[in-house]
C-alpha cells in the first residue's frame, strides 16, 4: 500500500470512528457540550449599583415616510456600578400597561466594576393601531439580578406621543 492511499484510508477511518462515537447510539464523545454550555453563574454574584439619572419622559414619535409606526426614544438612564463579584446582571425595563408593552434590556456587569453605564432603550417600533392615545402612564425599573433579584429603582414615567 502506498503512502497516499494509507493517508486517505486513515482519514476516512478517523472520521467514521469519530462519527460513531459521538453519535446518538454510543454517546461516548460529545463535541457540542462546551459550545452550548449555559453561562456559568449568570445572574449570580453581587454588585453595588447607584442610579444617577433616569428619563422623566419617554417619547413615542411617529416615523417619517408614511409608514405610520411610532419609534420609542428616551434619554439614557445612567448608573454607577461598583464592587462586582461573580456575574450579576442589570435589567432596564420600560413598561406601558395600556399598550400591553414591556421593553427590557439586560446588561452583564462582570466587566463593569467602577464603570458608569448608560442604559438606552432599544430602537422599537409600535404600529399605529396600537398607539391610539396622546399619552400613556408607564413605569421604569432597574433591577439587579444577583444571588437574588433586587429592585434598584422603580418609578412612574410619562409616555408622550408625538405625531
Q: What is the largest CA-CA distance in the chain?
A: 84
- For residues 17 and 85, membership in a common domain is answered with no
Q: What is the pLDDT of residues 31-70, one digit of tens each?
A: 444 443 345 466 889 999 999 999 999 999 998 776 789 9
Q: Which residue has the higher pLDDT, 1 or 139?
A: 139
Phi, psi dihedral angles at 133 (to 5 degrees): -95, 175
- For residues 97 and 20, membership in a common domain is answered with no
Q: Kindly report the CATH number assigned to the domain that includes residue 81.
A: 2.60.40.2550
pLDDT at residue 148 greater than cutoff 50: yes
Give the cell for residue 35: 459550545
The pLDDT confidence band at residue 123, using thresholds 50, 70 and 90, is confident
Q: What is the pLDDT of residues 7-25, one digit of tens each?
A: 555 565 555 555 555 555 4
* Residue 94 confidence (pLDDT): 96
Adjacency order of strands within the sheet including 125-126: 101-108, 89-96, 135-145, 149-162, 57-62, 70-73, 125-126
- For residues 24 and 77, membership in a common domain is answered with no
- For residues 33 and 51, membership in a common domain is answered with no
Give the domain range for residue 130.
44-162
Structural domain total, the chain = 2
- For residues 18 and 48, membership in a common domain is answered with no
**How far apart, in whole angstroms, are the C-alpha atoms of residue 158 and residue 65?**
26
**HSE (side-chain half, CA atoms, 13 Å) at 95:** 10
- For residues 33 and 80, membership in a common domain is answered with no
Give the cell for residue 90: 442589570
* Residue 13 confidence (pLDDT): 55
Q: Which residue has the higher pLDDT, 77 or 25?
A: 77
User: Could you tell me what percent of the chain has a pLDDT over 70?
Assistant: 74
Least confident range from 60-69, 79-88, 116-125: namely 60-69
- For residues 76 and 151, membership in a common domain is answered with yes
Mean of the pLDDT values across residues 87-105? 95
pLDDT at residue 145 greater than cutoff 50: yes
- For residues 63 and 15, membership in a common domain is answered with no
DSSP 99: G
> What contacts 14, CB < 8 A, 6 or more positions away?
none
**How far apart, in whole angstroms, are the C-alpha atoms of residue 19 and residue 9?**
15
- For residues 54 and 132, membership in a common domain is answered with yes
Amino acid at each position: 500500500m502506498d503512502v497516499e492511499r494509507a493517508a486517505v484510508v486513515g482519514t476516512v477511518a478517523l472520521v467514521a470512528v469519530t462519527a460513531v462515537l459521538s453519535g446518538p447510539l454510543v454517546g461516548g464523545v460529545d463535541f457540542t457540550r462546551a459550545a452550548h454550555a449555559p453561562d456559568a453563574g449568570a445572574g449570580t454574584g453581587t454588585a453595588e449599583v447607584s442610579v444617577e439619572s433616569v428619563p422623566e419622559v419617554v417619547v413615542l414619535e411617529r416615523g417619517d415616510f408614511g409608514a405610520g409606526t411610532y419609534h420609542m426614544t428616551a434619554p439614557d438612564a445612567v448608573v454607577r456600578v461598583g464592587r462586582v463579584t461573580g456575574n450579576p446582571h442589570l435589567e432596564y425595563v420600560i413598561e406601558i400597561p395600556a399598550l400591553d408593552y414591556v421593553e427590557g434590556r439586560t446588561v452583564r456587569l462582570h466587566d463593569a466594576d467602577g464603570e458608569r453605564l448608560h442604559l438606552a432603550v432599544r430602537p422599537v417600533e409600535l404600529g399605529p393601531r396600537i398607539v391610539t392615545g396622546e399619552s400613556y402612564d408607564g413605569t421604569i425599573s432597574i433591577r439587579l439580578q444577583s444571588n437574588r433579584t433586587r429592585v434598584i429603582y422603580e418609578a412612574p414615567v410619562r409616555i408622550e406621543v408625538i405625531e
